[in-house]
Amino acid sequence: MAEYIIVGNGTAAAGCIEGIRSVDAAGGITVVSEEKNPVYCRPLISYLLGGKTDENRMNYRPADFYEKNGCRVLYGRRAEKIDPEERTLQLDDGSVLKYDALCDAAGSSPFVPPFEGLETVEKRFGFMTLDDAKALKKAVKKGSRVLIVGAGLIGLKCAEGLRAVTENITVCDLADRVLSSILDAECASLMQKRLEENGISFMLSDSVASFKGNTAVMKSGKTVDFDVLVTAVGVRANTSLVRDASGEVNRGIAVNDRMETSIKGVYAAGDCAEGFDVSSGSRKVLALMPSAYMEGHAAGVNMAGGDERLANEIPMNSIGFFGLYAMTAGSYEGTLYEERPEGGIKRFYVKDGVLAGFMLIGQTERAGIYTSLVRERTPLRDVNFEILKKIATSAAFSSQIRGKKFGGVV
Amino acid sequence: MASPMRVNDMKRVYVNEKWCLGCRLCEYNCAFASSGIRYMAKALKGKAIFPKIHVEGDDGITFAVSCRHCTDPICVKSCIAGAIYKEDGVVKINREKCVGCLTCVLVCPYGALAPGSDGVMQKCELCTQSGGEPACVKGCPNRAIVYEER
């Protein structure tokens, strides 16, 4: 009977468990979980702050998930070392587990720049885990002044969540715009405006030079007094387990389309691994929940002797603030086509005759039709792109394609 | 090992676009069926409706779109709230868990998902709660929408 080990207990791990069980109902599965919670929906921690969800509803799988799938979960344990020759994993308590196949789904860790005087800040928090969110929620009261360092997806969702509690929130970022990893300047300004209309203040193109207790001295010379500090500058893939075992690592753990690392019997999935972005033709960390699940599932199937190949991942995000949504997918390469529906922007990037990527603000209905064009690299000559630019509709497809999509089991 | 579920052996909603009149009765019948209200006028009259099926098209062709209940649904894999799941072949949503992030809208290749009046996602569940033929099928005046196995 095969023995499987999964390092990590997030979405990729859940996908891995389900992938293994779709092939092998009997093998033993051990999950090494540093966090002491069953798998939960990590992106929902911002909704927890604002009371839009609660811990009970944040579970990613039902309470009997591990039991039903015959998994042993080691909570509060950390994986320390892989021995690729012996196929063993050593844990932080010194115990050694044998595996036939191992999936490293260790996720990512927040990166905190070495700010001068950071240790003098009394109430400072990261925003990555359920425990972070619970601690932050406890610390922020009505009227609390909150400074968030980082205007990316994590920092801004944190700001939106906290806005339900306090009116005094400032977000700073070295970048000249919000959501700089997914939006261009004009799209970003629309999102920023919506956030500002809802009481979030920004200090962009500016960052903290040093902290003196509850005061941040900015690079511009301005100072910000605050009660609570949140650092959400960025994350780094947790790659050390594979790197220390001499496996190939770039920004994330290098894997092939079966999610195999360069170490035989060791797979990687989720935020610690590099997926293949079909829209740019390159391997990169796709730190997205859908990718985490799909990579984990593929790894699991292959660990158990099946064959699942993942060749059409793309970066994509749907993110909303106070009712205004931005949806993005793919790569912003090639010729730009633009539409300006009321209250929004739609930007399409066409390269080599296919839709390489898009940015939508406001008008996001049926955006998945665009996403599938990116993912499947559908030749635009086969669709009516003039219609599609205006409105996402399957009416832009030929009746033959529509027949395939809607006429049978898909 | 458990035998794989034969998910394809189930009825789904299909549309014959050549017969679709574009009358949008399916949208009204769907919204009425979902409302839980006894009288159609009370449920729908003068209100914006939020059906789980919608008619697309132009002057030339019209067709109704609702969830395809995919064999391998990307919305289930993508839902960041773990709210969308598959049960007996039917793709369902737990509206208590949905936070309205719209990731499912971003990934559904058919454009089959849209939020309800409360901003929480809703989707066609084949009228499984009420049983029998889905309301869109029952009410289609030209039998352009059918409920069958293919």
The per-residue pLDDT for range B72-106, each reduced to its tens digit, is 999 999 999 999 999 999 999 999 999 999 999 99
- Please identify among residues 373-402 of chain A the ones whose CB lies closer than 8 Å to any CB of chain B: 387, 392-395, 399, 402
Query: What mean pLDDT comes out for the span B106-133?
Result: 91
Size of interface A-B (CB pairs under 8 A): 122
Residue B2 pLDDT class (50, 70, 90 cuts):
very low
State whether residue A1 sits within 8 Å of chain B by CB: no
Of the residues B105, B117, B123, B147, the best mutation for testing chain A's interface (the one with the most A CB atoms within 10 Å of its CB) is: B105
State whether residue A316 sits within 8 Å of chain B by CB: yes
State whether residue B102 sits within 8 Å of chain A by CB: yes
Please judge whether B74 and A319 are an interchain contact, meaning their C-beta atoms are less than 8 angstroms apart.
Answer: no
Where does CATH 3.30.70.20 sit in chain B? Answer: 69-123
Task: Please write down the HEC assignment for all residues of A81-114.
Answer: EEECCCCEEEECCCCEEECCEEEECCCEEECCCC
Residue B17 pLDDT class (50, 70, 90 cuts):
very high
Closest CA to B136 of B150, B128, B126: B126
Pairing status of strand B114-115 against strand B121-122: antiparallel
pLDDT at position A299: 98
Taking the CA atoms of residue B89, residue B90, residue B96 and residue B98 in that order, the dihedral angle to the nearest 10 degrees is 90
Q: Which residues of chain A have pLDDT under 50?
A: none
State whether residue A367 sits within 8 Å of chain B by CB: yes
How far B38 CA lies from chain A's nearest CA (Å)? 30
pLDDT at position A304: 98
State whether residue A358 sits within 8 Å of chain B by CB: no
User: Which among B61, B99, B111 has CB closest to A369?
Assistant: B111
- Statement: residue B1 has pLDDT above 50: no
- Please identify among residues 90-109 of chain A the ones whose CB lies closer than 8 Å to any CB of chain B: none
How far B14 CA lies from chain A's nearest CA (Å)? 6
Please judge whether B99 and A52 are an interchain contact, meaning their C-beta atoms are less than 8 angstroms apart.
Answer: yes
Amino acid at A187: C
State whether residue B70 sits within 8 Å of chain A by CB: yes
Please judge whether B111 and A392 are an interchain contact, meaning their C-beta atoms are less than 8 angstroms apart.
Answer: yes
State whether residue A406 sits within 8 Å of chain B by CB: yes
pLDDT at position B4: 47
Residue B55 pLDDT class (50, 70, 90 cuts):
very high
State whether residue A410 sits within 8 Å of chain B by CB: yes
Please judge whether B65 and A52 are an interchain contact, meaning their C-beta atoms are less than 8 angstroms apart.
Answer: no
Please judge whether A407 and B80 are an interchain contact, meaning their C-beta atoms are less than 8 angstroms apart.
Answer: no
Cα separation, A61 vs A53, whole angstroms = 15
Q: What is the CATH number of domain B69-123?
A: 3.30.70.20
Of the residues A64, A308, A410, the best mutation for testing chain B's interface (the one with the most B CB atoms within 10 Å of its CB) is: A410
Q: Which residues contact B140 (CB under 8 A, 6 or more apart)?
A: B25, B26
pLDDT at position A343: 86
Please judge whether A406 and B65 are an interchain contact, meaning their C-beta atoms are less than 8 angstroms apart.
Answer: yes
pLDDT at position A261: 98
Tokens of A54: 């609660």
Please judge whether A395 and B78 are an interchain contact, meaning their C-beta atoms are less than 8 angstroms apart.
Answer: no
pTM given for the model: 0.95
Cα-flanking dihedrals φ and ψ of residue B87, to 5°? -135, 120
Answer whether A14's CB lies under 8 Å from A65's CB.
Answer: yes
Chain A hits for B102, CB-CB cut-off 8 Å, are 318, 320, 325, 327, 364
Which element (helix H / strand E) includes A339?
strand A335-339
Q: What Cα–Cα distance (Å) separates residue B15 from each residue in A142, B36, B42, B64, B148? A: 53, 25, 29, 6, 11
Tokens of A409: 């089991």
pLDDT at position B6: 52
The average confidence (pLDDT) of chain B is 91
Name the one residue in this structure whose structure tokens are 């909603």: B13
- Please identify among residues 32-51 of chain A the ones whose CB lies closer than 8 Å to any CB of chain B: 41, 43-44, 47
Chain B hits for A58, CB-CB cut-off 8 Å, are 81
Chain A hits for B100, CB-CB cut-off 8 Å, are 320
- Please identify among residues 74-93 of chain B the ones whose CB lies closer than 8 Å to any CB of chain A: 74, 77-78, 80-82
How far B89 CA lies from chain A's nearest CA (Å)? 11
- Statement: residue B8 has pLDDT above 70: no
Q: Using one digit for the tens of pLDDT, what is the confidence trace for B25-43?
A: 999 999 999 888 999 999 9
pLDDT at position A368: 98
Q: Enter the ipTM.
A: 0.94
Chain A hits for B99, CB-CB cut-off 8 Å, are 44, 47, 52-53
User: Which among B1, B77, B82 has CB closest to A41?
Assistant: B82
With CA atoms as reference, the chain A residue closest to B72 would be A410
pLDDT at position B3: 42
